[in-house]
Amino acid sequence: MITGLATRAQVKIEGTVQGVGFRPFVFRLARELDLTGWIVNGADGVMIEVEGAAEAVGRLIERLRTSFPPGAKVERISVRSVPAVGDREFMIQPSCEEGAKQLAISPDLATCADCVMELLDRTDRRFRYPWLSCTQCGPRFSMVTGVPYDRADTTMSRFVLCEACRAEYEAPENRRFHAESTACPTCGPRLVLWGAGGQLSAEGEEALERTCRIIRAGGIVAVKGIGGFHLWVDATSEEAVQRLRVRKRRPHKPFAVMFPSLEAIRMYCALAPEEAEWLTSSEAPIVILQRLKEISLVQGVAPGSATMGAMLPYTPLHHLLMSELEAPVVATSGNLCDEPIVTDEQEARRQLAGIADAFLIHDRPIARPMDDSVVRMAKSGPIVLRRARGLVPRTIRLPESIVRHIQGPVLAVGGHLKNTVALLDADRVLLSQHLGDLSTLETEYAVRQAIDDLQWLLQVKPCAVACDLHPDYRSTRLAEELAGRWDVPLIRVPHHHAHVAACMAEHGVTGEVLGIAWDGSGYGTDGSLWGGEFLLATYRESERLAHLHPFRLPGGKQAGREPWRAAFAVRWEKFGAQGCRAGVEERTEWKEQEKLVVAMLARQIQSPVTTSMGRLFDAVASMLGLCQVASFEGQAAMALEQEGIRASASVPGEDDAYPIPLDSRAEAPRQWIADWRPMIKLIADDLNRGIERSRIAYRFHRSLADLIGRAAERVGVRQVVLTGGCFQNVLLADLARARLESAGFVALTHREIPPNDGGLALGQAVVAAIQLGRRERVSPLKG
């Protein structure tokens, strides 16, 4: 035991110090010098705390400055003294985000270079073993079943380490020292191939060979990975890809493609250095890339799309399969539409029956579904569109100035689409992985599991529950149930306020912001469907300063899937009944549905009022003939963005913005209406004049960026938040940012937290925690 005379120092080492045996090196040194404390990998290096006799602490720091393992590249060492805490020994802590020491569970890590080398080394005892991993790589969060993080509390507990593995596990100098996921052919999981009906077809190497044969022959194989099943199919065979589309009932939504290497990706896509960096990172997400026109994969992979989601192998099994196949494969989540990814082989057999021709499985259970993360690069940096494997469970730190106002832990249940849940405790928020659309029991089950996960990860019980304002969301009903059961307050947070707060929290912003929250739709404080909102917001409250000119959506929800309805609706607003169908091929007969839509608009029935920016995108995409009926969310907006990008590449900056005046009304002089009707008239004119539709699409984006700029100038608040699903659109985000920055504003866009409803829970949690702080004091229930 260390006495009161102990000195404790915190040492931060930046540079290339991970994956080079740095931690075992420090471990040996500390033990040699009789020091206690810990070392942990952080975001940009390693963090060490050592405690013991002052002289020994000084010697350790001296040694760190002068000698370190070969391969390590130390760029900076900073030392500060901290109060002694009386650790009993020196420990290597599992990798985690810097500053989140209590939460010692790392996201899943892509296979490291050392392990790939062993995988391909004939002399290595793990040669071609699909589950090799080490302290630098392998499954983490997807296999954890309890805390603290050790093997007994993972899904690897059933695999008892063999003598050779145990020796590595216990040797501080070894790369597998305390590698909880470690395994070898003697003691670890095994590979099995099932036929379509679940019958055993092959094992081990033969299972691999046969899998490749099936894929080469155009078959579909369900492959069990780190966080769930993928469906694999040859991406160079139109026939195979179409078969997958038909069987999965997914006619258009782009598929992600796994490539054997960066070089292979470069053959098909434009690749910036930052994109390559993401692809090869330990997070190894899907990165949305611009396709090259000259050489393209089969159309069926991403029909009509100028972009494509690409990824690299991130498990040893992927490496083995890809080195054998030497060709790109579609690797899409094994699930039914918008449900959580399937994790269990029996479940896979049931759910993917009729889709997969074979199942490549193993006996390491997956503790929780973990989809691939999706990242897209904007000019100002990355935007995470889907946050899951590789990124969760990293926490979001809240700024000091707001932590003071927070009372007790808050659980937030998110929205309806792309659901995630979040738990806020003290100065941090843990946002769950992407779970899916909450329209099925499977997603609801996953959401309940994620809520349990968050509680044991942070070791707290919520003293309030936050949800959306929408009374009919399944998430709202779940929140009502939980608040009732736990006997804690329920706080309903307006949808767009939550979006703005999520972006503020991600950037640690305090004070007032102008929040531009644009999305498909969210329940507004007046009970109508909002979606083109300008809010003056703090974490505590928001005020609606401006919104889009409202319009009616004939058919309600159906209008969200059929952009032509939105086009009818906006033309109705501008031209009335006569001009409603303008531009639709004049000679054709009126369709029954069109007559019905006009009748709905005329009589104002089944046509809820909305200010949705998402539907305005739909309307313009339909007017331009890009998409009349969408088979997946955001299809029309994506098409419009891609047209715009095409024009911006050819004639950047040449087109003027269409006018979208910001008017005030007599009855609400403090609230402005962004009137898009003059723009609709000009777009119709441009179409009549035969202006290229990509030019029109670009001008449309410019107009929205200009609208944002004018609104910011009028409001005069320096920080402007750009949030909501519409800001997945990088053309819009980039143009808006440029416009704002040129006028001296600070533009805040999402980075690690999705701008879409996948980020809502974070905003809900923060808003509720702050509002709760205003109410009576509620003591957190620890335990």
Can you give the binding site for Zn ion, defined by CB under 5 A?
A: 112, 115, 134, 136-137, 162, 165, 184, 186-187, 519, 522, 757
Residues contacting 276, CB < 8 A, separation 6+: 262
Other beta carbons less than 10 A from residue 659's beta carbon: 15
Nearer to Zn ion, 169 or 575 (CB): 169
Between 115 and 244, whose beta carbon lies closer to Zn ion? 115
- Compute the least distance from the CB of residue 420 to Zn ion, in Å: 12
Which one, 157 or 186, has the nearer CB to Zn ion?
A: 186
CA 570 to chain centre: 32
Q: Which is nearer to Zn ion, 115 or 311 (CB)?
A: 115
The phi, psi pair for 550, rounded to 5°, reads: -70, 150
* Residues 395, 400, 406: CA angle, nearest 5 degrees: 80
Alpha-carbon 457 to chain mean position: 20
Nearest approach in angstroms of CB 518 to Zn ion is 9
Other Cβ atoms closer than 10 A to 121? 12
Closest to Zn ion by CB, 186 vs 628, is: 186
Choice between 165 and 505, CB closer to Zn ion = 165
Question: To the nearest whole angstrom, how small is the minimum distance from the Cβ of residue 156 to Zn ion?
Answer: 11
**Shortest CB 550 distance to Zn ion, Å:** 17
Q: Which is nearer to Zn ion, 372 or 519 (CB)?
A: 519
Cis status, amide bond into 148, omega within 30 of 0: yes
- Cβ closest to Zn ion, residue 453 vs residue 641: 641
Residue identified by tokens 């590249």 is: 73
CB of 165 to Zn ion, least distance (A): 3
Taking the complex as a whole, the smallest distance from the CB of residue 531 to Zn ion amounts, in Å, to: 7
Contact predicate 68/48, CB 8 Å? no
Cross-strand pairs, 82? 8
Q: Residue 242: how many CA atoms within 13 Å on its side-chain side? A: 5
Minimum distance of Zn ion from residue 248's CB (angstroms)? 26
Q: How far is the CB of 284 from Zn ion (least distance, A)?
A: 13
Does residue 738 contact residue 705 with C-beta atoms inside 8 Å? yes
The Cα 730–Cα 736 span in angstroms is: 10
How would you class 356 by CB atoms within 10 Å of its CB: exposed for 0-12, middle for 13-18, buried for 19 or more?
A: buried
Q: Which residues contact 669 (CB under 8 A, 6 or more apart)?
A: none
State whether the Cα torsion 275-280-285-290 is positive or negative. Answer: positive
Nearer to Zn ion, 97 or 633 (CB): 633
Token pair for residue 528?
């109508």
Q: In what order do the strands lie in the sheet with 7-16?
A: 73-82, 7-16, 45-52, 36-42, 90-92
Q: What's the CA gap between 727 and 376, in Å, rounded? A: 11
Report the distance separating Cα 534 and Cα 546, nearest Å. 5
Q: How far is the CB of 759 from Zn ion (least distance, A)?
A: 9
DSSP-derived secondary structure letter, 131 = T
Q: What is the DSSP letter of 154?
A: B
The bridge status of strand 229-234 relative to strand 256-258 is: unpaired
8 Å CB contact between 754 and 485: no
Q: Identify which of residues 229 and 518 has a Cβ nearer to Zn ion in the complex.
A: 518
Q: Which is nearer to Zn ion, 408 or 522 (CB)?
A: 522
Q: Of 457, 469, 449, whose CA–CA distance to 424 is shortest?
A: 457
Q: What is the nearest approach in angstroms of Zn ion to the Cβ of residue 59? A: 31
Residue 338 CB, shortest distance to Zn ion, in Å, is 15
110 versus 329: smaller Cβ distance to Zn ion: 110
In this complex, which beta carbon is closest to Zn ion, that of residue 134 or of residue 398? 134
Q: Report, in Å, the least distance between residue 618 CB and Zn ion.
A: 15
Give 268 or 518: the residue with its C-beta nearer to Zn ion.
518
Within a 10 A sphere around the Cβ of 97, how many other Cβ atoms?
20
Tell me the closest approach of the beta carbon of residue 225 to Zn ion, in angstroms.
16
Question: Measured from the CB of residue 624, what is the shortest distance to Zn ion in angstroms?
Answer: 24
Minimum Å gap between C-beta 205 and Zn ion is 18
| 3-class state of residue 737 by DSSP | helix
Q: What is the DSSP letter of 372?
A: B
For residue 412, list its beta bridge partners: 422, 466
Residue whose CB is less far from Zn ion, 115 or 478: 115
Kindly give the pairing relationship between strand 513-523 and strand 719-723: parallel
Q: How far apart are CA 187 and CA 498, in angstroms?
A: 48
E runs forming strands in 88-205: 90-92, 191-195, 200-203
